[in-house]
Amino acid sequence: MTADDRSLIGRAFTVLGAFDATSHRLSQSEISRRTGLPLPTVHRLCGQLIAHRALERMDDGKYEIGVRLWELGALAPGAHGLRQVALPFLEDLYEATHENVQLVVREGVEALYLERLSAHSAVSVIGRAGGRLPLHASSGGLILLAHGGTELLEQILARGLDSFTPHTITSERILRAKLDDIRRTGFVTCREYLNAGTLALAAPIRKGRGSVVAAVSIVVPVEHDPAPLVPALIAAARGISRRIDLASLD
């Protein structure tokens, strides 16, 4: 444990980091096991986090992330500015498909979903707004990986290419070829890489004419023909790129 981890702020973030997409509600004992912090320390930190609305205590004694964290997260200038610019284009794509339309950025070595629009009848997917997915197995993640540079790719390869379906790319050779193809064509098509029964497409969003800062993706049933979706997807990505307020992403 580093000095930062031992600080009050560091330990508070360690407690908050115990929660994830599959564990929304945790007891103090579960937080203690997940973080390695002593139970008395967890008890004290949970009380302080509740006082600041960063955690909420449920009737059963377990804890959930508090709404105050959502309020603060919504103020993040890069994410907020990008989402506001992208939303009209995402809504247009949603109206064209009534399936899953997503806005994705990179956070470290994972894909982070800033926004997701979907209908009740849309094909089921793992991703959700605020959720994280592996770069090598998600359409938006592959776009970001293709434009993330050699160092990022080496990090991903060193971590290993986990398999989520029989169609997930787990070969370095195939992954490198896929990334080359993305840079050449300007979009990606993924058949059941992450979710069985799905076809995902994504295209890059650029900061001006420069670096790729995000991706827009569509997820439809696997039997869909992707060809009619590609022009609308690329047009949306280019439209968002043109509208990005550079200052809001700094």
pLDDT in tens, 137-180: 999 999 999 999 999 999 999 999 999 999 999 999 999 999 99
For residues 62 and 84, give the distance between their C-alpha atoms in angstroms, rounded to a whole number. 34
Tell me the residue ranges of DSSP E strands in the chain: 55-57, 63-65, 100-107, 110-117, 132-134, 188-191, 198-206, 212-221
Determine the pLDDT at residue 1.
Answer: 45
Are 145 and 156 a contacting pair, CB within 8 Å?
yes
CA angle, residues 37, 43, 48, in degrees to nearest 5: 110
pTM beyond 0.75: the answer is no
102-132: per-residue pLDDT in tens? Answer: 999 998 899 988 888 887 776 766 655 557 8
Give percent of the chain with pLDDT exceeding 70: 86
Which residue has 């050699």 as its token pair? 150
Question: Which residues, in sequence order, are CB contacts of 70 under 8 Å at separation 6+?
Answer: none
Provide the mean pLDDT of the chain. Answer: 86
Q: Tokens standing for 60?
A: 């059963």
Determine the pLDDT at residue 96.
Answer: 84
Give percent of the chain with pLDDT exceeding 90: 59
Q: Tokens standing for 203?
A: 């295209």
Are 209 and 192 a contacting pair, CB within 8 Å?
no
Domain ranges across the chain: 3-72, 76-249
Class of domain 76-249: alpha beta
**Predicted confidence (pLDDT) at residue 77 exceeds the cutoff of 70:** no
Closest CA to 229 of 109, 82, 94, 30: 94
Side chain identity at residue 14, one-letter code: T
Q: Which fold has domain 3-72?
A: Arc Repressor Mutant, subunit A (1.10.10)
Given pLDDT bands bounded at 50, 70 and 90, which one contains residue 84?
confident
Alpha-carbon distances, residue 187 vs 77, 136, 249 (angstroms): 27, 14, 23
